[in-house]
């Protein structure tokens, strides 16, 4: 099982051992979900499942659409640190999501403190088009469509840990302006994702760069970042 003493290399080795098994299992779930789609009127469906191996306890989020496109997202639980290990788009390698952050996301964004971890991870996965807007040696701030994720780099384990979530309605005017700086680029990334899903292979590198490059005006200054940390980071 996963332990708090493992570093990123250890975690990669153990979780890689489960990869093919989870993909095969996920294919059956996707087949069931597509059948459900065809019986109903929806174009896309998202579900979460509990899954166990000798290596880890997982929550698996799966989504698929009528055209057969799908995604499988793994969240592996580390009991000692009360966090879930996964990968997100904006940060390389494995990332740890604290249960504290998930509770804050349920409370501040979903407005329901009583949601299960699985339900919260499902909702968080659906909003996880994000981009890092500030970082130094140990602190990171990422923005998504609902607010800001505050993260810290764990040098011993060589992973980035999501500590808490700050919803847009909690931000002061100056803090909101920091998020607003990157709201357009988040939309551009989503538009790019939708475009390539429809026209795979028909977009060049230059178009991608024009959609996702960030200039100095779109990132947080040290002062803006300090305001965020001073208010929320020590939760």
Task: For 180-213, write each residue's pLDDT tens digit.
Answer: 666 665 655 544 344 333 334 434 444 334 334 4
pLDDT tens profile 117-130: 999 999 999 876 66
CA–CA separation, 37 and 41 (whole Å): 7
CA–CA separation, 80 and 68 (whole Å): 38
pTM above 0.85, yes or no: no
Does the structure show a pLDDT above 60 at 163? yes
pLDDT tens profile 26-41: 999 999 998 888 888 7
Q: What was the pLDDT predicted at 104?
A: 93
Q: What is the sign, positive or negative, of the torsion defined by CA atoms of 170, 131, 106, 83?
A: negative
Q: What was the pLDDT predicted at 209?
A: 40
Q: Which two tokens mark 158?
A: 């060589």
Q: What was the pLDDT predicted at 183?
A: 63
Q: What was the pLDDT predicted at 133?
A: 72
Report whether 74 contacts 15 (CB < 8 A): yes
Mean pLDDT, residues 27-56:
91
Mean pLDDT, residues 146-159:
87
Positions of E strands within the chain:
44-52, 57-65, 70-78, 83-88, 91-98, 131-135, 139-144, 147-154, 159-167
Q: What is the sign, positive or negative, of the torsion defined by CA atoms of 24, 26, 30, 31?
A: positive
Residue recorded with tokens 């357009």: 184
**DSSP codes, 139-158:** EEEEEETTEEEEEEEETTTT
């Amino acid at each position: 099982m996963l332990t708090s003493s493992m570093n990123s290399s250890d975690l990669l080795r153990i979780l890689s051992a489960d990869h093919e098994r989870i993909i095969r299992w996920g294919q059956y779930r996707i087949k069931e979900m597509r059948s459900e789609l065809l019986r109903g009127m929806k174009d896309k469906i998202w579900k979460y499942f509990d899954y166990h191996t000798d290596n880890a306890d997982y929550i698996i989020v799966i989504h698929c659409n009528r055209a057969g496109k799908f995604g499988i997202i793994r969240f592996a639980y580390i009991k000692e640190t009360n966090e879930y290990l996964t990968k997100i788009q904006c940060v390389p390698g494995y990332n740890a999501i604290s249960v504290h952050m998930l509770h804050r996301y349920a409370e501040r964004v979903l407005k329901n403190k009583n949601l299960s971890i699985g339900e919260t991870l499902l909702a968080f996965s659906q909003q996880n088009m994000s981009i890092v807007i500030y970082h130094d040696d140990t602190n990171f701030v990422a923005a998504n469509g609902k607010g800001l994720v505050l993260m810290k780099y764990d040098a011993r384990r060589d992973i980035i840990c999501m500590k808490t979530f700050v919803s847009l309605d909690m931000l002061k005017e100056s803090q909101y302006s920091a998020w607003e700086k990157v709201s357009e680029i988040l939309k551009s990334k989503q538009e790019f994702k939708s475009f390539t899903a429809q026209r795979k292979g028909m977009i060049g590198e230059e178009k991608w760069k024009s959609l996702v490059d960030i200039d100095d005006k779109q990132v947080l200054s040290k002062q803006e970042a300090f305001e965020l940390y001073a208010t929320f980071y020590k939760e």
